Structures are given as structure tokens and as C-alpha cells.
Chain A
Amino acid sequence: MSELLDRRAIKLAETAADRDDAIRRTGRALVEIGAVDPGYVDTMLAREQSISTYVGEGVAIPHGTLGGKELVHRDALSVLRFPETVDWDGEPVTLCVGIAAKGDGHVELLAALAEILLDEDQARELREATDPETVIRLLGAIQEDSNS
């Protein structure tokens, strides 16, 4: 299995006009590394309209609908940081973790991400990361978990 977190899908100095723009950028990063079809981005927007993917700690986890799974080529993450924050239905979001998942492997992935965010120090480090290495180190545990 190729790596879940491709360095090319980590972009730490992004800006977005609004929530949907941020979702499109997060989705595009998954398209660029060949993890999903371009159409997957639309299912990410549809998902967000049905229910917010904001999880707390300034982090949102945009991902497609169940119907969008057919457009996923391989499980992957994208990590986009918006230093100026994006208004997410009233919540300031600094970090978008885009998720592409074919099966239910992303449940473990989400669980591992949530564990990191529940640790205040790690959550802050992730929000303030300016170096992809920091992101890879923090989220590295997720890769190990999901490959096991």
C-alpha cells in the first residue's frame, strides 16, 4: 500500500475565500496526487451541505459521500493549513484534513486523528505547523495504525 499521506498533498500556507473554496482546494490536493477522480470534490461539497465536517480544535475533515466512494482510487489524506482561518459556519478553521477512503479503513484513521486533536499540545502543534515534516511526524501514527 502506498503511503496514506503524500508529501505533495500537504500545503501549509493556503488561503481560501470561504468554506466551499477551502473544501475545493482540499479536494483538489487529493485529485492532484491521483487518489480520487475530480468528481469526488463535488461529493465533498455535497457532504458538507448535508452535515458539517467540523470536528473541533479548528479542524475540519472534508470527505465525500458514500456515493463518492466509487470515485476513490486509493485511500489518502490531504492536509491544508489556512493561517488566516476560514469561517466554517461560525467556527474558525485553520486545518482541513481531506479524506479519501474506499472501505471503512478511515474509521481508524479518524480515530487516530481525533486522538491527536484531543491532546491539546499535539493539536496546537498541528495547527501551527509550517513544515510538512511536522505534519508527517504527528500524523505518522495514523499511517502505522491504518497499515496494521
Chain B
Amino acid sequence: MPTRTVAVGSASGLHARPAKIFVEAAAKAPVKVTIRVGEKKAVPAKSMLSVLALGAKQGTEVILEADGDGADEALDGLAALLAKDLDADDA
């Protein structure tokens, strides 16, 4: 299954704002994407509560997985988003 491992780039971690941006992008993906930390249970990347419950901070490695047509493209996009500092343009 296509997989990407990426370290969270947002300064304040994968919390409210960065999480929301990520979740909204995951919801638009043509395939079902899951996210997990280490060997913990994989959860739906489009579920805000599930993503928040990961408690991922800046530098935490998360693993994205998806299967099916367009999985690689979807994962590339989401991984790039996670690696970015999504707090950077926050006032």
C-alpha cells in the first residue's frame, strides 16, 4: 500500500488550525487516507477529532496510507502539506 512518512512541520503541532487545513485537504482526496503515529491505530485522515487525538507536535513523524487510483498523488499532496509550517501565515 502506498505510504508516506513525514514529520509535522507546523510550529505548534498538528493542532486546531493546521489540523483543520490537513483534514479538509484529506476530505477532498479521491481515496480514503489514514494517518497514524508509530504503531498506534491508523485513523481516518478526514476526521478532525481523530487527527486531534493523535496529539502530534512539531517534528512528530506521522504515517499516511492510502490505496487505489490516485493514492500516490493524494499522499504526495498531503505529505507536502504536513511538512509545511501551516502556522506561518497566522497572525
A positions within 8 Å CB-CB of B: 43, 46-47, 50-53, 55-57, 61, 63, 65-67, 104, 106-108, 110-115, 117-118
Interface residue? B36 (CB, 8 A): no
Of A57, A65, A106, the contact of B91 (CB 8 Å cutoff): A65
CA distance in complex: A113, B15 (Å): 12
**Which residues of B are interface residues toward A (Cβ below 8 A)?**
11-17, 20-21, 47-50, 52-58, 87, 90-91
Interface of chain B: mostly helix, strand, loop or mixed: loop
- Known A-B contacts A46-B91, A65-B90; the reply to A55 vs B15 at CB < 8 A is no
Provide the residues of chain A in CB contact with B56, threshold 8 Å.
Answer: 107
Complex Cα gap A117–B52 (Å): 11
A113→B57 CA distance, assembly (Å): 16
20 residue pairs A–B, Cβ–Cβ below 8 Å: A43-B91, A51-B17, A51-B20, A55-B16, A55-B49, A56-B49, A57-B49, A61-B16, A63-B16, A65-B90, A66-B87, A66-B90, A66-B91, A67-B91, A104-B15, A107-B57, A111-B54, A113-B52, A115-B53, A118-B50
Q: In the complex, what's the smallest C-beta–C-beta distance from A108 to chain B, in angstroms? A: 5
Closest 10 CB pairs of A and B: A111-B55, A114-B52, A114-B53, A107-B13, A114-B49, A107-B15, A65-B91, A115-B53, A110-B52, A55-B48
